[in-house]
Each structure stands twice: as C-alpha cells, then as structure tokens.
A and B are shown apart, each in its own frame.
Chain A
Amino acid sequence: MIKLENVTKAFETPSGRVIAAQGINMEVPDGEICVLLGPSGCGKTTTLKMVNRLIEPTSGKIFINGKDTDAYDPVELRRTIGYVIQQIGLFPNMTVEENICVVPKLLGWEMGKARKRAAELLATINLEPALFLHRYPKELSGGQQQRVGVARALAADPPVLLMDEPFGAIDPINREVIQDEFLKMHRRLRKTVMFVSHDIDEAVKMADKVAIFRGGKLEQFDSPDHLLAHPANRFIADFVGADRTLKRLRLVKVGAALEAGSPTVTAADDVARAIALMAERDHKYIVMVDPEGRPQAYLARDACRDRAGPAVQNSLPLPATIGLEEDLRAAVSIMFMHDVRWLACVDRDGGFAGYITQPGITGLLRQTYRAGAERVP
C-alpha cells in the first residue's frame, strides 16, 4: 500500500517559488495499479519521485505498507522499490543479466541466486534466457529493452513498483502488446504499482484507480469507469475527451451486458414453434443453433409470420457473433459495421450464450451514470 498524506513540494528557483505538488492525499491499496495522469508539468512525475525520495517532499508524509518513508535511508528505501523510467535506462555497459542483477547485487545476494533469478525473470517476460542473458542492450529491440527494464525493476521482488511513462517511447502496436503482457504479469504478481502516463487510453486500460493532476493539484482520484462517467469538473471532462462514453465501452466485457436465458430453435424445429417462442417473449428474432449448441443462423418474426416448414428453410445468416471475453467497444464496432442492433454472443467453446442489444448497452452505461448520481449529490 502506498499512502500520501498532505504531500507538498515547492522548488526554489531564481524566478521565485514554484509549487510542483500541493497537498496531495491519496492511497493506493495493495496489488492495485494507480495511474497518475495529466498534462506535462502537472506534478505527476514529481509526485511519483517523492515516493522513492528521488525528490524530497517539502512537507507531508508518505507511507509504504504503513511505514513512514522518512524512517529509511533514501538509498536503502529505493532498493526496496522497483523503478522503471521512460528511457528505460538499461545500462549499455552491462549485459541483460548484469542489468537485472543490479539491485540483487546491491542488496548483497550471492551471485548464483541473482543469476538464477535473472534467468527466471527473462522466461516470464517471454525472452529465451539462453539467447538473451548475455546480450547487451544495444542488441535488443525497443520492446525487448522495455521488457528487460520491467524485469530489472522486479528483480529483488519489491512489493511496490514505480513506473514513469514506461511505455511512452514504444510504437503503438508494440505498446498494446507490452501493456497486455504487463497486465497479465500484474494479475499474477499483484504488486502495488504507481504509474505515470499522459495517455488517457493507457490509463483507462491499465488503472484500477486514476489520479488526475493539474497545476500541482490532485483534481480527481477515482476508478476509470467512474472518472469517465462523472468527471469532477470541466478540465477533467475536456482531458478525458468528448468520446469518454465510448472509452467506457472498453472497460466493460460483453458478458456484463449479456441477456442470457433466451430460447433457441434447431434446424429441424418447425417455424410455428419459433414464432410461438418469439411471441411468448415478445422478441423479434430467435437464434437457430446446431446440435453442439453453436449459433448457426437466426429467424426474424416479421419474415416468417405466414410461413410453414422447418426453421432452417426460413433462417437468415448471422452477420457476426462475439465472444463473452471481448469488450463492448469491439461489440459496438461490429454492430455498426453490420448495421445491426443486436449480436449473438458465444462462450469460449463457441456455444450460444445469449445476446446483447444496443438498448441493453446504453441501459447499462446509464445505470452507472445513475448510480454515480446517487453517490455524488
């Protein structure tokens, strides 16, 4: 857990006193990722660097796992906190192995143990240890370097990780991949992470909590969904963007908007049965599944009103289906692409799980708006 209590930093410059951070209060619970977000010069990096005392706060207290950081020698403190910077900062004079072993060596681990740890870490970041341990940073691609940078920060298994725009210098395609990898690793390791970013999309994707800064002040500290649904003021609303509702779609999985338990028909069923089932629920469509339960086609109530015979003769092909693990942004995108108002959803094995509708999705988004409105009068 990282806790900041009324932390302020003022720099004395020749042109006067500059307040870089003012009265910051926040708490990052164990195992969560907190993204510090804001335009440049807003105090987010200063706040991050005060946690490992690269910058000493002018006033206020910072606690890590309940202990006051002032009680430590700053150098000893930093050895217990993982640190990743934007430029990665792998030391070019050292091999990948030596880079990863820096902190273990500073902590006085024996060499054998540190080496074993380096090999382990490389394996977890999908770099073959035998190939990469003895390479120099210049022999790695940017993405590989950043992975090694994260591995180096994790070398001594610190409970807390500070990351200063760690994926800022990587091309967009690799950035997505590395973000996903990092999230996967985070779910396993459950470190407490403080992460500086200026990219709202990155924040929404990575964060459990987002802290928005402006002019040295913490403007809002909230979950990404709540932040997008209820920006506290005009500045934050502008910063998160006019498309903030679309951004929220990314936070919700298809499963959450699923309307399950709807009836299905099989190819051999009679059209009359399909019509009866639709009438019973007042549905306009019904999905036809194959013997394994996979959606195959659908029947529309209007189109088969006066028809007879087996369902298969009156069925229409499904434009698309979507997996329950996908986010709603992908679902909406598919809906727009095919100009449909509903989509059949499939589980991991491809079986029909239910469907989502556009009114269902907007209803879900409105629900959180309403829940938030109740919380904040």
Chain B
Amino acid sequence: MQRSWLARTVLVLAFVATFALGVLAHGSGLFEQVARYWGEIAYLSRQHLQLVAISGGLAILVGVPLGMWLSRPAMRRSAEGLIQVLNLGSTIPTLAVLALAMSLLGIGVVPAIFGLWVASLLPIVRNTYAGMLGVPAYFVEAANGMGMRPAQVLARVELPNALFVMFAGIRTALAINVGTAPLAFLIGGGGLGELIFTGIDLNEPGMMLAGAVPTAALAVLVDFAVGAVAFWVVPRGVNPLR
C-alpha cells in the first residue's frame, strides 16, 4: 500500500519534471535548435544502428558458439582460463580498444566495428558459458539415457535451458554496444557521436542534444527489442517472465 503510494508520487513528480523540462527547453529555443539537425539525426541514426547491428551481430555469431564450445566437457579444464583472459580484455576501456583498433586497422568503419565487437563479445561468451554450465547434469543424463545423440542433447535440452541466461548476456552486450558506439566517431566510424562530439567542441548544446537524445532513445529501444525477443523465444517452461 505504502509502496504503491510512493510509486505514484514518484511517477507524478517525474511527469511534472519532464513537463517542466519541456517548457524550459521550449522557452530557451532548444527544440528549434535540435530540430534543425533532423536530416543529420536520421542519417547518423541509421549509421549508428548499422554499427551496432554489424558489430553486435558478429559478437553473437562468434560469442554464442564460443561459449558453447567452452562449456563442452572436453574443454572443462581450459575453459576457466580462457574466460579469465576474456575478463582481462573487458577491463580495457573501450576507448583504448578503439585506439588500439585504429592503430592496427587504420581509421574508418572497420576498426570501429572491430572495437565494438571486442567490447560486446565478453558478456555474450560469459553468459552462454554460464548458461550451459547451469543446465543440471541430470538433464543431460536423462537425455543420453533416452537415446538422444550428442547434437540432439545440445539442441533439444541444453540450449533451450541455457537460453534465458544467454539472452541476458546478449542484452547486456547490446546495451554496452549502443552506448559505446558514439565513440566510433573518434576513429572515423561515424554514427551519432558525430553530433555529440562536434556539439561539445563547438559548445553548441542543441547539436550535442541532437546526438545524445537519439542515442539514449536507441539504447532503450534496442534493450526493449532484445527483451521482447527473449520473452517470446525462451520456452515458457524455463522463462521466469512468462
């Protein structure tokens, strides 16, 4: 009762704050300033999404099989070590990864995609690995005992039961990816970072917001999309949300 009262108050306050912010923004002419960049926003958002889609897609394509491979019994011993190496990789700031990528691959879209790929690979590998290990051994034993071949055990038992944890990793990875993608501009990769960094350099808040607000919106949108996919793809029996 008290909780819902609190929630309602917060909601009302948020609503009022948003409204006030809108009035303030309108009064200072910020809307017109942002609207001036409409063409750039549309173009750069597409570029931004392309960066995210390609680097994120590649990270999923590589990370999921890698995580699955590490979870195989034959890999048990070396898997933890490899995960630690990947962990180390993720402690390097993304900006540094981008800088390293630039020094290796030059400037442009390719090193940007590479950098983003590296940054989003780890959560996917780690969660896939953890998800697969989290499938109780007796499910595998039951599946073997009933006469499933190893590939069938993987596809019908292990993968579906690991899916929920795997999706959590993909969601984290893509959230990191969208949020980091503006940095791609710094090495000539394009994207909404162009408006953000140029806006900061020129001390033009309108331009900066024209980059920042769509970036935030994209992050929320991508997160929502992945959440929706997970909701429908993960079987109901192993999906705590359904």
Contacts and interface: CB of A to CB of B under 8 A. Distances in A.
Interface of A: 52, 54, 75-80, 83, 85-95, 102-103, 106, 136-138, 152, 162
Given A136-B236, A136-B237, A89 B139 contact: yes
Contacts of A138: 237
Contact of A92 (B141, B146, B149, B238): B238
B158 to A, nearest CB: 10
B144 interface: yes
Interface string B157-182: 10011010000000000000000000
19 contacts: A75-B149, A76-B147, A78-B144, A78-B145, A78-B147, A85-B145, A87-B138, A89-B141, A89-B142, A89-B143, A90-B142, A91-B142, A91-B156, A91-B237, A93-B157, A93-B163, A93-B237, A102-B148, A106-B152
B237 A83 contact: no
A85 B161 contact: no
A92 B235 CA distance: 9
A102 B136 CA distance: 18
Given A85-B142, A89-B138, A103 B147 contact: yes
A77 B149 CA distance: 12
Contacts of A78: 144-147
Contact of A54 (B145, B149, B160): B145
Closest 7 CB pairs of A and B: A89-B142, A136-B237, A79-B147, A78-B147, A93-B160, A83-B145, A87-B138
B170 to A, nearest CB: 18
A54 B141 contact: yes
Contacts of B156: 91, 102
A103 B138 CA distance: 17
Interface residues of B, number: 22
A93 B145 contact: no
Nearest to B240: A138
A94 B235 contact: yes
A93 B141 contact: no
A52 B141 CA distance: 12
Contacts of B237: 91-95, 136-138
Given A92-B237, A93-B238, A136-B237, A79 B146 contact: yes
Nearest to B236: A136
Nearest to B234: A93
B144 to A, nearest CB: 6
B147 A93 contact: no
B148 A106 contact: yes
Contacts of A52: 145
A102 B152 CA distance: 11
Given A91-B237, A136-B237, 4 more contacts: A83-B142, A85-B145, A87-B138, A106-B146
B147 A91 contact: no
Nearest to A135: B237
Contacts of B144: 54, 78
A340 to B, nearest CB: 50
Contacts of B138: 85-87, 89
A91 B143 contact: yes
Nearest to A78: B147
A25 to B, nearest CB: 24
Contacts of A77: 147
Interface in B111-154: 136, 138-139, 141-149, 152
Contacts of A152: 146
Contacts of A86: 138
A77 to B, nearest CB: 8
Interface-central residue, A88, A94, A95, A137, by most chain B CB under 10 Å: A94
Contact of B147 (A88, A95, A106, A137): A106
Contact of B146 (A88, A93, A94, A103): A103
Given A87-B138, A136-B236, A136-B237, A92 B145 contact: no
A138 B237 CA distance: 7
A93 B240 CA distance: 11
A70 B23 CA distance: 81
Contacts of A87: 136, 138, 142
Nearest to A89: B142
A138 B160 CA distance: 15
Interface string B68-81: 00000000000000
B39 to A, nearest CB: 47
A78 B149 CA distance: 10
B141 A85 contact: yes
B235 to A, nearest CB: 4
A162 B238 CA distance: 28
A196 to B, nearest CB: 13
Given A78-B144, A79-B146, A83-B145, A91 B139 contact: yes
B26 to A, nearest CB: 51
